[in-house]
Amino acid sequence: MKVSNFSSLRELTIAALVISSVTACGGSGSSNTTPEASVTPPTPPVSETPSEPDWQAGVYEPESNFINQCESPRSGIDPFSGNSYPDEAGTAMDEKLWMRSWTNDTYLWYDEVDDNDPANFSIAAYFDQLKTTELTPSGTPKDNFHFSRATEEYNTLTQTGVSSGYGVEWEFVSLTAPRELIVQYTEPNSPAETAGIPRGASLKTIDGVDFVNANTQAEVDVINAGLFPSESGNTTNLTFELVDGSELSVSVTSADIEVSPVQNVTVLETSAGKMGYFQFNTFIRTAQGSLINAFDQFVNDNVTELVIDLRYNGGGLLALASQLSYMVAGPNQTDGAIFETLQFNDKYPTRNPVTGSTISPTPFYSTEIDYNAGLLTNTLLPSLSLTTVYVITTGSTCSASEAVINSLRGVDVEVVQIGTPTCGKPYGFYPTDNCGTTYFTIQFQGVNNKGFGDFADGFIPSSTPNFEFELPGCDVQDDFTKPLGDASEGMLSAAIQYAESGACPVSTASSTSASLISGSHSNAPSNSQATGQTTASESSLAIKPPHTQRDELILHNKINEPILRGDN
């Protein structure tokens, strides 16, 4: 409980004023007192200083006791909600005890979190360690998806699809010398696209600094400042080596980049039939219209085969993933089936601890959604009603992307996997704002219509699948020598061949392109990369891409937002 000293201070102040008044008058009304001595100076107002709550090991007060009690409270109106900020004056310990109680209440593995003294950590560092340290069966950390972001930045990014930069998505091959950074793709109408920077271009210099071999902190500072601009209007000179060995030098100026989730929509003629293809980069609400347009085109063109390129898609909104899955499978296969059911920690077997509602399955949403209002509409989505779909994946294919794979398999749609294993994230969270920071902690696991959701080490393509997490398909590396959507690009070419023959290609890499075929280079950021920190084994001269990597985490995750059925 917080105890205010305001009343006692007020009484002492009044008493002091009374004593001062008596002394100034000399107690006798004498006229010898000078005017200056008889004037009592004004007493400054007494401000209330919040008292700091105590931490007791193993004792968890309700999170409501600490929520919105902020060391640096915001004031004014939230531009995204239109409401006043709920913040009140508090302390750093209030903020830490809120996240501690919130974690103990809602975190999926709350009983695997060490109850360390919050006084030994900053607010950010305390949150960082509020997670399990257990490992998956393969020996990787169980929780690789624990992070936070400034609330204003998070809202700007997810609600507008806009971020500052050049519009380049990078493959982080090596952050330390000899460094290697390769262009995955560029956003349409971005400075990078306008400058003609192609997929597969390898960065060589930035503002005259040797990107590959720079070995002084001053040089690396130039690289970081130029490569990851924090605001619009920064001009940087870049030199690349292209796939054919030629050199490209460009000058680009950072701008607000609007993310285009759906790209390279095309219909290919194959011996298996007309094949639809599209590159899908993130499940954000602005993607709904583009997905609908793509499927309208596929339906009108009588597409019988479909390739969904999820190689760089780390996830996003579950409702949108449900809509995409419906557009693939159609009404008959999804009728009465569930897209996904969320399972929370063992404190909440039947109730959602975040919304307070009874846990109910997410259906295959068959209509458009008004995402601003969180309501279903009556406008029916297009659908292909396919029994087989080809999905291109890498280690960057996470969360809601994996939910699409899992949910389709739950209604017996055959998912053929082309690429490398997915990242393994059957988990998700409700982004939660407290004191201007939005926190993301694993709160649920999703299972499909058959009750399966155990793929913590990812879905794996196999010629002879034996386990639920193994899918029929081909192990193919990311091919940077061809544009995305090009029928000769390694992964898409393998999907076409599998559709035509039922077999994987013998090899997708030629001797001249092998150096640009990415096998072990996952775009999924490590925790250290996501926070801009380095591990003990990383050099202090590593480039630190905090904005790009954290943007990946924000855009690419399984995020649950309640969707209600509208009255219209």
pLDDT digits (tens, 9 = 90+) for 383-423: 999 999 999 999 999 989 999 999 999 999 999 999 999 99
The answer to whether residue 209 is domain-embedded is yes
Higher pLDDT, 317 or 525: 317
pLDDT tens for each residue of 239-252: 999 999 999 999 99
Residue 266 is encoded by which pair of tokens?
A: 């095309």
The answer to whether residue 23 is domain-embedded is no
Residue 403 is encoded by which pair of tokens?
A: 């939910």
8-27: average pLDDT? 35
**Which DSSP string corresponds to 103-147?**
HHHH-TTGGGS----GGGS-HHHHHHTSS---B-TTSSBS----E
Q: What is the pLDDT of residue 545?
A: 63
Q: What are the angstrom distances between the C-alpha of 385 and each of 306, 411, 413, 431, 483?
A: 11, 12, 9, 33, 29
Q: What are the angstrom distances between the C-alpha of 112 and each of 71, 133, 135?
A: 28, 7, 11
Predicted TM-score (pTM) of the model is 0.76
Query: What is the spatial distance between Cα 71 and Cα 90, in angstroms, rounded to a whole number?
Result: 5
Q: What confidence category does residue 324 fall into, taking pLDDT thresholds of 50, 70 and 90?
A: very high
pLDDT tens for each residue of 477-521: 999 999 999 999 999 999 999 999 999 998 643 333 333 433 333
Q: What confidence category does residue 298 fall into, taking pLDDT thresholds of 50, 70 and 90?
A: very high
Which one of 257, 282, 302 terminates a domain? Answer: 257
114-129: average pLDDT? 97
Number of structural domains in the chain? 3
Which one of 241, 257, 273 terminates a domain? Answer: 257
Under 8 Å between Cβ of 421 and 457: yes
Q: Are 225 and 371 members of one domain?
A: no
Q: What confidence category does residue 228 fall into, taking pLDDT thresholds of 50, 70 and 90?
A: confident
Q: Residue 546, Cβ neighbours under 10 Å: how many? A: 16
Q: Are 224 and 340 members of one domain?
A: no
Q: What is the CATH number of the domain that holds 347?
A: 3.90.226.10
Q: Are 344 and 488 members of one domain?
A: yes
Which one of 106, 141, 159 terminates a domain? Answer: 159
Residue 15 is encoded by which pair of tokens?
A: 């008493």
Q: Are 217 and 269 members of one domain?
A: no
3-state secondary structure of 347: coil
- Predicted confidence (pLDDT) at residue 9 exceeds the cutoff of 60: no
The answer to whether residue 55 is domain-embedded is no
pLDDT tens for each residue of 22-42: 333 333 333 344 444 445 556
Under 8 Å between Cβ of 425 and 397: no
Structural domain that includes position 240: 164-257
Q: Are 294 and 395 members of one domain?
A: yes
Under 8 Å between Cβ of 438 and 149: yes
CA proximity to 184, closest of 440, 343, 396, 21: 396
Q: Are 266 and 379 members of one domain?
A: yes
